Structure formats: structure tokens, C-alpha cells
Amino acid sequence: MDLNVPVLVGVVPLLCVTNFVIEEGYRTVAIAGSRFTQLVTPTTKTITIDAMLVREWRALRPALEALALTTRGLASATAPLMALAGIPVITKTSVHLDMQITSLIFTQKSDPRDTLAVNIKLAHVPRTMEATAFGLGADVVMAVAGPFIP
């Protein structure tokens, strides 16, 4: 039996991810006196995750909503912590720190009834240079070690 390595969104494990997309944008600057441009710095990073919450795992819906700060009481209670760190997204091959959920869609279909589909969109919201540097290092480590995880 193969080990199913989950995608972790914060502390929420997603065991049945059907689609995982990372989109990164880069800012370009024209080189003075030349017709060429140069990529200067990454400007945006977004992640889109499609997953299935099957049977008892449907109970993770409130945890995902809590991460997305869908209630005002929760948002005000966690605001001081969100200034220090965002939501980590950890996969078998990558680590992304300081992410924030921008969209959360749950879909319940009639077939299969015991499955709840979830679409999560996250955006990178950098907090500190230290966290960004640590995240880049952790991402490189997972990229190298990921193929060796069963």
C-alpha cells in the first residue's frame, strides 16, 4: 500500500488533491540604452488547490473556513498572529510560507453524496525577510527531497 502524503494547508491535511497549480509572476525592467528587458523580482505567487473531502474528512470544512477567516470574531482574534506569519502550504515537493486564502468554494453534488469538493485560492503575502528566506530554503530542500518520498 502506497503512503498518501497530504497537502497541508496550515494544519489542515488534504488527502485527495485533484489539482494543484502554482502561478508566479515576475516584474520586468527595461535595460537602459537597450531594447532588452530583465526579470528583476518575483511580484506575485498564487496557488490554486482542488481537493475532495471524502466521508469523514468533510468535517475539515470548518477548519478551512477558520483559516480563511470567514468570521469577523475569528479575524479580529487572529489578526495579531497574521502580522507575524501567514498560512504555510506544504506539499510533497514544495513549501510555501506566508500564504493567505483569497477564495474558498465548497461544492456538494448529488453523486457521490459523501464527497465535498473544495477549491482553495491562496496568494503570497510576505511578512518578513527572514520568513521569506526560510521559505525559499525550505522549498529548495523539498524540491530535492520530494522525489524520494514514497
DSSP characters for 80-141? Answer: HHHTT--EEEE-SS-EEEEEEEEEEEEEE-SSSTTEEEEEEEEEE----HHHHHHHHHHHHH
Higher pLDDT, 103 or 84: 103
**19: confidence class by pLDDT, cuts 50, 70, 90:** very high
pLDDT score recorded for residue 11: 86
pLDDT over 60 at 81, yes or no: no
pLDDT score recorded for residue 1: 40
Q: Which of 32-36, 57-61, 65-69 is modeled with the greatest confidence? A: 57-61
- 8 A C-beta contact, residue 64 and residue 104: yes
Whether pTM > 0.75 for this model: the answer is no
pLDDT score recorded for residue 120: 95
Which one-letter DSSP state was computed for residue 74? H
Secondary structure of residue 145 in the 3-state scheme = helix
Which of 16-25, 31-40, 68-77 has the least mean pLDDT? Answer: 68-77
- 8 A C-beta contact, residue 127 and residue 98: yes
C-alpha cell at 145: 527531497
Q: How far apart are CA 28 and CA 119, in angstroms?
A: 31
pLDDT score recorded for residue 118: 95
Higher pLDDT, 19 or 110: 19
